[in-house]
Amino acid sequence: MRFQPAPTRYQSMTYRRCGHSGLLLPAISLGLWQNFGHVDSLENSRQMVQRAFDLGITHFDLANNYGPPPGSAEENFGHILYHDLPGYRDELVISTKAGYGMWNGPYGDGGSRKYLIASLNQSLKRMHLEYVDIFYHHRPDPNTPLEETMSALDQIVREGKALYIGLSNYKPAETKKAIDILNQLGTPCLIHQPRYSMLDRWAEEGLLDVLEQEGVGCIPFSPLAQGLLTDKYLSGVPAHSRAARNGSLPEHKLTPEILELIGQLNELAQQRGQTLAQMAIAWLLKDERVTSVLIGASRPEQITDSVQALAHVAFTNDELAVINGLLTVA
């Protein structure tokens, strides 16, 4: 039986304008960084995409190297689009990226025109798409002139292969320079995707100010600090967790000090009537400069839980003082 999206899907989600553009994004978007590759269950991936869309999540974020193996998340997402969401393409915002190593040789990495255009062409084939809504340069490339990278992004939009351009992992000064070049070319930057959470606040050191001044949206990734900002590690390291696999969250990061901090934040979340994960998402969304928060998931239930954060985004001054005090000590 073909998947039928919930008719109420747009009633529970909040949508925010992305910078000074005409584009609205859901306050919570789904990233396919992990758990969507060929090593994962395609059926579980399908259920997560379906659950997200049922909850009003219209934005799905990928990159050329997501998997594993690299490229397989895009292939699986293309399969899901074709079989589960035919006819709904115009209700979706799909993004992908290029910038990290993708294939062997000198042309499969970085920020050259050759790499970016070739990579996007491959991504479009994997997802069976004519265009993506947002195409990001995934990271700065010190070995390629910034003008070349930005002009390649401009060319991609003019050729109709992407509707908007984004940046990821660019520092404030790099971001400002890239935005200026894109403005001169006539293809303004839509959005920036930084790593940002309660435990990783570098974006507050100038980046958010640049984005606000330039009218560019912000969509933080790793809002839960690879699972640290959940109740997962309060009683030890679960067998199938990222820390246990020593993957994107090495177990050595679970220091006694961090675990104590997580416990104190969890107590505050409970007082607010939220899980720690929900409070961590709400803490990002309290800032109007944040357009959307990019979550990951390994089960559909985690997506449902994350969306419930929208029920309580406001913080009192006392709550913010407690959080800032704890994070300052950390």
Give tens-digit pLDDT for 147-197: 999 999 999 999 999 999 999 999 999 999 999 999 999 999 999 999 999
Cross-strand partners of 29: 294
What is the pairing mode between strands 28-31 and 24-26?
unpaired
What pLDDT does 244 receive?
46
Phi, psi of 318 (to 5 degrees): -65, -40
11-66 tens-digit pLDDT = 989 999 999 999 999 999 999 999 999 999 999 999 999 999 999 999 999 999 99
Closest by CA to 11, choosing from 55, 48, 49, 53, is 55
DSSP 167-213: EES--HHHHHHHHHHHHHHT--EEEEE-B-BTTB-GGGTTHHHHHHH
Measure the CA angle with vertex 227, ends 273 and 272; round to 5°.
Answer: 10
pLDDT of residue 251: 60
* Contact present, 93 and 13 (Cβ < 8 Å): no
Q: How confident is the model at residue 328 (pLDDT cuts 50, 70, 90)?
A: confident
| Residue 1 confidence (pLDDT) | 76
SS3 content of the chain, % helix, strand, coil (to 5): 45, 15, 45
Q: Residue 142 above 90 pLDDT? A: yes
CA distance 111 to 138: 9
Residue 237 is predicted with a pLDDT of 60
Residues near 132 by Cβ (< 8 Å), separated by ≥ 6? 94, 95, 96, 120, 123, 124, 161, 162, 163
- What pLDDT score does 320 carry? 97
C-alpha pair distances (Å), 277 with each of 22, 113, 115, 127, 248: 30, 39, 37, 31, 18
Instruction: Express each pLDDT in 93-137 by its tens digit.
Output: 999 999 999 999 999 999 999 999 999 999 999 999 999 999 999
pLDDT for position 234: 85
252 has pLDDT over 70: no
Does 68 sit behind a cis peptide bond, omega within 30 degrees of 0 on the bond before it? Answer: yes
- Burial of 159-169, coded b for 16+ CB within 10 Å and e otherwise, reads eebbbbbbbbb
Q: In the 8-state DSSP scheme, what is residue 89?
A: G
Show the domains of the chain with their CATH numbers: 15-228+286-299 (3.20.20.100)
Average pLDDT of 1-9?
A: 93
Q: Which residue has the tokens 């679970």?
A: 254
Q: Kindly report the pTM of this predicted structure.
A: 0.94
Whole-angstrom Cα distance, residue 313 to residue 278? 9
d(CA 12, CA 26) in angstroms, rounded, equals: 10
257 Cα distance to chain centroid? 28
Summarize pLDDT for 192-249 with one digit per residue, the tens. Answer: 999 999 999 999 999 999 999 999 999 999 999 989 999 888 876 655 555 444 555 5
